Amino acid sequence: MIEISFGKMLLLALIALLVLGPEKLPGAARTAGALVRRVRNTWDSVRAEVERELEIEEIKRTAREAAARAEAAQAQMNATARD
């Protein structure tokens, strides 16, 4: 997702400390952590749902191909039996 280096995190923490002050910083950090966790969980659930849908589509495609091959084999057998 988003890649933040250690230096950038340190700079961000320093700016947050200056802007929010030491009293509000722990609460803001907890809120930010909870937000990141919710976003990550939502992203993981969306990704899992998309993967499930892709697997379902792959299974449907495979079933259609197998049905088409079975119909072709049946038609060939019927043609051979008529001859």
pLDDT at position 49: 96
pLDDT less than 50: residues of the chain: none
Distance, CA of 11 to chain centre: 31
Ramachandran region, residue 5 (left: φ > 0; alpha: ψ -120 to 50; beta: rest): beta
**What pLDDT is attached to residue 1?**
54
Total count of domains within the chain: 1
Cα separation, 78 vs 15, in Å, equals: 79
pLDDT score recorded for residue 69: 96
Q: Containing domain of residue 53, as a range?
A: 1-83
The confidence score (pLDDT) of residue 4 equals 77
